[in-house]
Chains A and B, each alone.
Chain A
Amino acid sequence: DQQVKQNSPSLSVQEGRISILNCDYTNSMFDYFLWYKKYPAEGPTFLISISSIKDKNEDGRFTVFLNKSAKHLSLHIVPSQPGDSAVYFCAARTQGGSEKLVFGKGTKLTVNP
């Protein structure tokens, strides 16, 4: 049973436009959500996170939105740049549990010049 779902395996956008990556989860015990970015042959790198007590967190061009009632979060990148092309993983952590992260399968973002 996949607890964190990224239903779009790929996304292609034009440079300068907004990229929106979506993530849905099923476990209501998740209290913390993260986005990681991964380039080929490298480990994932942390991008941005959000606590379940918030509905928005912004860091430069990156904003994460959380809708707890819908169990949905999204990552907005604006403006998108070619260097943003990578695989983006959504991850979640369970309140009061182990510190392990539960990951989605990832969305491959391609930003075209």
Chain B
Amino acid sequence: GAGVSQSPSNKVTEKGKDVELRCDPISGHTALYWYRQSLGQGLEFLIYFQGNSAPDKSGLPSDRFSAERTGGSVSTLTIQRTQQEDSAVYLCASSFLAGGADTQYFGPGTRLTVL
């Protein structure tokens, strides 16, 4: 079946502009995660959605970052007033169930470059 998809694959923007990154999780997966990987770093957790529960936003680096998940499926990560330090690969993952040993499946990522 189809895996996690993300769009766009690459995004170049100017400092101060807003960007929206999209994630389509695997159908039927109830949990959705956003991570980012800055150059030379590991993956950094941003936000987690599970069903209708309130999202875990503890990883969002600033109030310029927000995310929503509509209809329990597609998610959009929005970065307002982008800064150069926001440049990174933004990765989305989904899993069938939260908890236990459920595997997170990752999309290919969106490479964001802020000039």
The answer to whether A and B interact is: yes
- Find chain A residues with CB under 8 A from B2 CB: none
- List the one stretch of A14-22, A43-51, A74-82 in contact with chain B: A43-51
Total A-B contacts with CB atoms under 8 angstroms apart: 61
A13 adjacent to chain B (CB < 8 Å): no
Number of interface residues of B (CB under 8 A): 29
* Distance between B33 CB and nearest chain A CB, rounded to angstroms: 7
Most chain-A CB neighbours within 10 Å: which of B4, B98, B103, B104? Answer: B104
Query: Most B CB atoms within 10 A — which of A44, A100, A105?
Result: A100
Residue B52 CB within 8 A of the other chain: no
Q: How would you classify the secondary structure of chain A's contact residues: helix, strand, loop or mixed?
A: strand
Identify the closest chain A residue to B103 (Cβ): A46
Known contacts: A43-B107, A43-B108. The answer to whether A98 contacts B42 by CB under 8 A is no
| Contacts A/B (CB < 8 Å), 19 sampled | A4-B42, A32-B101, A36-B106, A43-B108, A44-B43, A44-B91, A45-B106, A46-B105, A98-B48, A98-B56, A99-B33, A99-B50, A99-B95, A99-B98, A100-B33, A100-B58, A103-B42, A104-B42, A105-B41
Residues of A bordering B, CB below 8 Å: 4, 6, 32, 34, 36, 41-46, 49, 51, 89, 91, 98-106
